[in-house]
Amino acid sequence: MARALVLGVVVVVTSVSVWQVIHRSSPSVPAAPHQVAHGPSMPSTNIYAAAGANMLAPALAGMPNRIYVPQSAGRGIYVIDPVTFKVIDRYPTGLDPQHVAPAWDLRTLYVTNDLANSLTPIDPFTAKPSGPNIPVADPYNLYFTPDGAAAIVVAEAQRRLDFRDPHTFSLLKALPVDCAGVDHMDFSADGSSLVATCEFSAQLGKVDLRSRTVVGYLKLAGSSPQDIKLDAAGQVFYVADRTRGGVHEIEAATFRGIGFLPTGKDAHGLYPSRDGRFLYVTNRGSGTVTVIDFATRNPVATWQIPGGSPDMGGVSADGGVLWLSGRYDAAVYAISTSDGHLIARMAVPGEPHGLCVWPQPGRFSLGHTGVMR
């Protein structure tokens, strides 16, 4: 176990030498062209191939890099400059903003003001609200179908997934789900289905996107499922479990559990590395980030943030920094993905939650805080 003193904070990194060997020496996934096409077709070998380092879509040219941080116990957004690590703006959006979600076409960010029953549109070229709030019932979270045909508002308290027009947000179909606490989701590699987590009923729900119907549930006994991410090969869904302190492995093809990896207390957020080789798991109760190797399905490193409560966020466009909110210690962290050291820590009050790093590489966004393909 190695220790490094960074910006006056001690950061503990488990198996640093092992992590650095894996991180630096393993062959990279072949990169797609720098100017990526915009469309729903999925790469066959790495679903994140079009979201590699600095592979920004042409539509994002000239857009400033910013970190958008919602106050889940407040009414607004903080904006951070990732170069200076300074808060440069703040503005009100609505009561209980939970996440900042990029639109499918990458051109707008939406703040999900859950208790205000509204979405605040943000123009990422100005980093300012671009219009009045949009009335939407119970928007705890927000996603977009892989073909861009619909937005999916996760109405957690109402136990619904509301399919809406991705531009006007008029209701297309309200889909009830027979599970409590529906809050996060991810999509199959071919874009035909989604799997949603239900944190209060220890369940996952599978939805067919062609018929927009629930086609099955999977019980994860004794669990509290949180975030969910598909591995780069499109074969295994990883599901964070805050109660059991780790991640479930769910086989995508069969929708059944095939394993569980302990990571740390209150496992919550899941973020793939820019090269699609690793998964970063935030453990709020342990103040750690666990790094999982997709190829071996094993943890290869643990990075500790003393006094931290890493929650949600995303990876910088160049892949070098993992940005995370510290929900229970009023902070935002910038963490090096090379060795896990804490680059900077910024004060943000009001239980910062679904932080969005923007812009990010990719052809289109599936929503949440930047699920890119």
pLDDT one-digit tens code per residue, 188-198: 999 999 999 99
Least confident piece of the model among 17-31, 194-208, 316-330 = 17-31
pLDDT digits (tens, 9 = 90+) for 28-78: 333 333 333 334 444 457 999 999 999 999 999 999 999 999 999 999 999
pLDDT digits (tens, 9 = 90+) for 321-356: 999 999 999 999 999 999 999 999 999 999 999 999
* Token code pair at residue 317: 């466009």
Task: State the distance between the two ends of the chain, measured CA to CA, in whole angstroms.
Answer: 35
Q: How many angstroms separate the Cα of 93 from the Cα of each of 77, 124, 274? A: 7, 15, 30
The position carrying tokens 């090269």 is 275
- In whole angstroms, give the CA distance from residue 107 to residue 40: 16
pLDDT in the model for residue 45: 78
* Token code pair at residue 46: 């790495």
Q: What is the pTM of this model?
A: 0.90
- Report, as an integer, the average pLDDT of 140-169: 98
pLDDT in the model for residue 19: 58
Alpha-carbon 189 to chain mean position: 17
- In whole angstroms, give the CA distance from residue 276 to residue 288: 21
Q: Give Dmax (Cα) for the chain.
A: 54
- Report, as an integer, the average pLDDT of 200-227: 98
Phi, psi of 232 (to 5 degrees): -65, -30
* Collapsed DSSP state (helix, strand, coil) of residue 22: helix
- In whole angstroms, give the CA distance from residue 366 to residue 356: 13
pLDDT at 243 exceeding the cut of 90: yes
Q: How many angstroms separate the Cα of 19 from the Cα of each of 299, 306, 319? A: 10, 20, 16
Q: Tell me the β-bridge partners of 90.
A: 78
- In whole angstroms, give the CA distance from residue 23 to residue 271: 16
Phi, psi of 80 (to 5 degrees): -115, 140
* Collapsed DSSP state (helix, strand, coil) of residue 5: strand
- In whole angstroms, give the CA distance from residue 130 to residue 72: 21
Contacts for 209 with CB less than 8 Å, ≥ 6 apart = 145, 146, 187, 191, 192, 193, 194
* Collapsed DSSP state (helix, strand, coil) of residue 126: coil
pLDDT at 18 exceeding the cut of 80: no
Cβ neighbour number for residue 45 with a 10 Å cutoff: 11
Cβ neighbour number for residue 289 with a 10 Å cutoff: 27
pLDDT digits (tens, 9 = 90+) for 259-318: 999 999 999 999 999 999 999 999 999 999 999 999 999 999 999 998 999 999 999 999
- Four-residue CA torsion sign, 290, 320, 22, 5: negative
Omega before 27 within 30 of 0, i.e. cis: no
